[in-house]
Every structure is written in structure tokens, then in C-alpha cells.
Structure 1
Amino acid sequence: MEILISNWSNVEFVPKKYIFPLERRPGKIEFPVCHDIPLIDLANNHPTDTIQQVIKACQEFGIFQVINHGVCENLMDDTMNIYKEFFKLPGEYKAKFYSNDINKSCRLCSSTLAYDTEEFHYWRDNFTHHCYPLEEYIMTWPNKPTKYREVVSEYSIETRKLLYKILDMICKGLALKSGYFEGEVSKTNVISVNNHIPCPNPSLTLGMPVHSDPNLITLLQQCDVPGLQILKDGKWIGVQPIPHAIVLIPGLQLKVISNDMFITPVHRVVTHAKEARTTIGVFLGPSPESLIKPATALVCTKPMFRAFTYPEFLKTFTAGAKCDAQFALNHFRNKT
């Protein structure tokens, strides 16, 4: 069978390799949408209040949405359309980018990086590439659709600005020294786009694994088709797609730097029976040389975690391809 699901046509049933065991299936897709997830207006005339809203969201939910964020709505629409076009391109063209090599700076894969060895496949294609410094990576990007490099380069610049704006607000809210999140701790910048075709039976499979983000902070542009869910109080709840709102998720590195004050939510993606779903993720993360540890200003007696490098964390996080956030955190957690 063709590996990339975006190349499939007339899908009438879920192939066996995509059917999860009973205990891992989402079951009947009737999960409630959570209306309590914070929606923060960044154009609020009271910046101190906005900063406190961001801090509270990071502590109570580990996820929030922002509006009036400064990323042009037309640019958001153009970028989403570019990616929808990309996944509709002929398989022969997309095959140029297919790779399971995690070190490749521009790659297309299906399910997860362990497609050839994993027991069950996820219902998605994923396209990921680095985008900072822009001049270093842009020539490795697709030249189709025609305006891909033009549109996506502008999008990567504008979303990076927004992420730094959020990090600056967090910096002020935690009373950290100015520029704390600049430099090596946020050097890597990756765009990761998921494409999910309609699934004949969404109750049998998943669009993405149950996971927490290992990086510093994540920005997500949803489409109008629901699918993202977070685990809250033992229940899966949907994150409502709001037109031109942007989802922010503090990653595990930010949880460590906050000395365990912040939540990094467990989340997953379910599929849709009738609609295709494309989402654009932008990930800021530390460089390999960056030393991650709780911010000194936030440690009253003893830091909750010992210092580590990002590669050390990722090695523990991905051990056995489990991407187990709690296992990784506990590995670096100081004993009480």
C-alpha cells in the first residue's frame, strides 16, 4: 500500500495497520469541546492584565488561544492554502522529500518516523522543515506550489515574532531578567504540518499519538475541522477551532525552566469521517548546546530539576520510541 495517505483515493475502510488495540482507540467520537480554555486578546489596553492571563493559562491549562496577535489573517489563509495544495501534489513530487531521517532539515513522512518498525500507524502525513536562519534553509524547501517559499518564509518570520512576544510576556510575568528566553534556549525554529485525510471509521485510529511537546513552546494554527484534544482531569476534551485564533502550548523545556510551575498538556489528534484536516505547527526549541535548568529567580530552596542539555532530554524522551514526558521529566527531577 502507498505509504503517504495523501496519495490515497476512495478510502472505504481503515487498513489493519491503522487499527489500534481496543485500549488505545478513541472510540465513539463525541468528546466535549472545552469552553474554559483561555482565549486571550493581545490587543488588550491593559498589558499587565494580559501578562497575568498568560501566566495563569500556563499554570492552569498549559494551553491557550490568542486573538489580535499580529499575524495577518490573509497570510494565515495563504499559508494554509499552500499546505493544502502541497499535499495534493503528485506523489512523484512529494516523494523527493520523503525520509525517516530525523536529521534531515526538510522531510516528509507518514504516521511517525518509525513507520517501518512501528506496530500501528497514525492517520497522518507530516511535513517538517527548519526555518531559522531563513537563508540557511529556504533553498531546501519545495518550489511547488509556486509561491511556497515566498509565503512560508513570511509566515515563519511573523510567527517567530509572535512566539517571542509570548515568551517576553512570560518573562515579565515570572519576573525573570529581560531577554531570558532569547539566544540558545530558543534558537531552533521548525514548521511541522500535519495532514489528515477523511477517515472511514474515526473510532478505530488516531491522527497523532498521545504526547506532550518536548520543545520550549509551540504555536498551532488549526483549520476549521476539530480534532485536537487535551487530557484534562482524566477526560479528553476538544480544543475549539476559532477562526484566525492561534493556539499556544508551553513545552516541557518551559515547564522545567518555570521550576514546575507550568503545565505541559498531554494531547492527541482524532480523525474526522468526512473532512480533511490540515494544521500548521511552529516549534521553538533549544540548541544542542543550550543548558536547560530551572530559572534561578524561581528557585526558593531547591530546584525541581537538575540541569541538562536538550539532546540529553530528547534521548530520554524518545527512549524506546515512547515519547514519555513523565518518564523523561522524572529522569531529570531532583529527589526530595
Structure 2
Amino acid sequence: MVNHGIPTGVLDNLLRSTREFHEQPKEMRMEFYTRDCTRKVKYYSTGDLYQTKTAQWRDTLSCDFDDTSKIDLGSFPEICRNEIGDYLNRLHGLKNLLAELLSEALGLSSNHLASLECFDIQRLLCHYYPPCPEPDLTIGIMKHSDPYILTILLQDNIGGLQILHKNQWVDVTPVQGSLLVNAGDLLQLITNDHFKSVEHRVVATRAGPRISAACFIYPRNKNQSKPYGPVKELLSDKNPQKYRETSFLDYIHYFGSKGLDGVKALPHFQLISANE
């Protein structure tokens, strides 16, 4: 996605400050190291290590927030807090525009998806993939689709991201100044397969370090127990409901319990027809 309205300088500053955080002395990074999922700011490697037996070749700074208009920048690492805040402020308007465009693409009113209260910026992951001396023996991020509505990804020019297309892995070539938007499982569920979540992975390489920042769009905390199902206006005799209603909390609990095992979580929520 180009012509998105976010200045290239804002994007470059986020990538630069992400690298600076990860290349600080270990003692400064360890101030934020935790596996406590309730912490708003977390620094870790392979976040789902207890479910996934394969360690992944990356470190991550994770920043969670419930309302982008009330972000407490003071809790973020000083070395990148202003750059994160600037990026998120710019991303808020872009997120709203995407909700309108996707609604119109479905033949709905422009405010329809936003009215479902599931298009909120909730988490930013700032990834650091060091150069790998033996890339054939590991992976940056294993094959998966995201459990969210959307993922908005900023990446540097190193490359390594791949999507699964017709059972073939296809390289996603970085484009300077662009943002990549991935549909997530929850968007596929509420649009009854009109939009499909994309399976992707990041391969380890000898080049690097690779820097990326993934922003996840999903329901705000107060709406995470709310049931979400296929939009009624999209259903018909020719397009019957394919998924049962579920809350985001239930979906993310199932997604987390199975780990990144290479199998999509979405089929678990499919309805079984009377003919099957």
C-alpha cells in the first residue's frame, strides 16, 4: 500500500529506533524482558515457546494499549517511545480509512465495519531478526495466519517475508515507503470468506538485521467478549453462514492453545452443514 499519507520520515524513524532498541546493551533491554502476558510492554524471543517447540530467529518488543488516543508513552522504552507514538497517531486515521474502503468493497455502507466495534489498534510488535549463520536450520516466524481483523506491516528492505499462494511460497519484495496490509482470520470470519486471511512466514537469512513493525487491528478490551459472526447483510441462499459466532477472547484462546503448528485456527469455528 502506497500513497497512504504517512510520511516516509515517520516510517524510517520507527525502523531506526526499533533497531536502536534491540542493539542496546543487554542490561538496558532486560528492563523490559518478561513472559508475563499482562504487561503492556514486553521484550522477548519466541513468545509462544510453551506451545511451539521450535525457537524462532527473532527478538520482539511488544506494546499493547486499549485506546490509541490515551497511549501512555512513558511506559515505552525511551529510545523509541516518540517514534512509536508518532507512527501510531498517523496510523489511526489510516485504519479508519481502511475500514471504510473494505466496507464499500463488500457493498455495505462505509461505516458498517467500524460500527461492529472491531477495528481498533491494540498492539504493535517491533521485530528484530539478526543475521543467521545457518538459515536452513531455523525460521524467523513459522507458517501462520493472523487471528486479528488486519495486520498493517512496515518492513525494511532486507526481505524474508513470504506468503502461501496456490501451495507455493512467494517472496514479498519490500517497496520503499510502503505498508503491507494482511487480512486476518477474524476478518475472514465476519465477511463469511469474502476476504481471506493470508498464510505467511518469515525465513531466516544471512543478511540483516531485518527490522519490521506489525500493528494488529482487533476489538478493544471492552468488546473482546462480544460475539462476532458473519455479517447478516452478506448472507444469502447462495452464500449461507459458514462460521459460528465467537468472541475474540475465545478465538485468541484457541489460537494460543494450539500454538503455531502450521494449521489455521479458523476451521475450528466452521459450521457443519446438515448434509455433512
* Superposition RMSD in Å: 1.8
Q: What are the residue-to-residue correspondences of 1:77-226 with 2, within 5 Å? A: 77-114=12-49, 118-131=52-65, 132-143=67-78, 145=79, 148-182=80-114, 184-226=117-159
> For the Cα contact (< 8 Å) 1:256–1:305, is it kept in 2?
yes
CA deviation vs aligned residue, 1:213-269 (integer Å, no higher than 9, x gap): 000101001100010001111111100001011100011111011111211111100
Structure 1: any 5+ residue segments left out of the alignment?
1-65
Distance apart, 1:80 and its partner CA: 0.9
CA deviation vs aligned residue, 1:165-202 (integer Å, no higher than 9, x gap): 11210111112233223263123421111101100011
Output the amino acid matched with 1:104. R
Distance apart, 1:160 and its partner CA: 2.4
Structure 2: any 5+ residue segments left out of the alignment?
none
Q: What are the residue-to-residue correspondences of 1:6-85 with 2, within 5 Å? A: 66-85=1-20
SS in 2 for 1:230: strand
Change (3 A) 1:315 1:104: same
> For the Cα contact (< 8 Å) 2:59–2:127, is it kept in 1?
yes
SS in 2 for 1:203: helix
Which residue of the other structure, out of 263, 268, 271, is the alignment partner of 1:334?
Answer: 271
Identity of matched residues, %: 25
CA deviation vs aligned residue, 1:72-128 (integer Å, no higher than 9, x gap): 01111111111111111111111111111222211011123326x753211000111
User: Distance in 2 between the 1:291 and 1:180 partners?
Assistant: 16
Which residue of the other structure, out of 240, 244, 248, is the alignment partner of 1:306?
Answer: 244
> For the Cα contact (< 8 Å) 1:100–1:114, is it kept in 2?
no
Change (3 A) 1:118 1:325: closer
Aligned length: 266
TM-score in terms of structure 1 length: 0.75
TM-score in terms of structure 2 length: 0.90
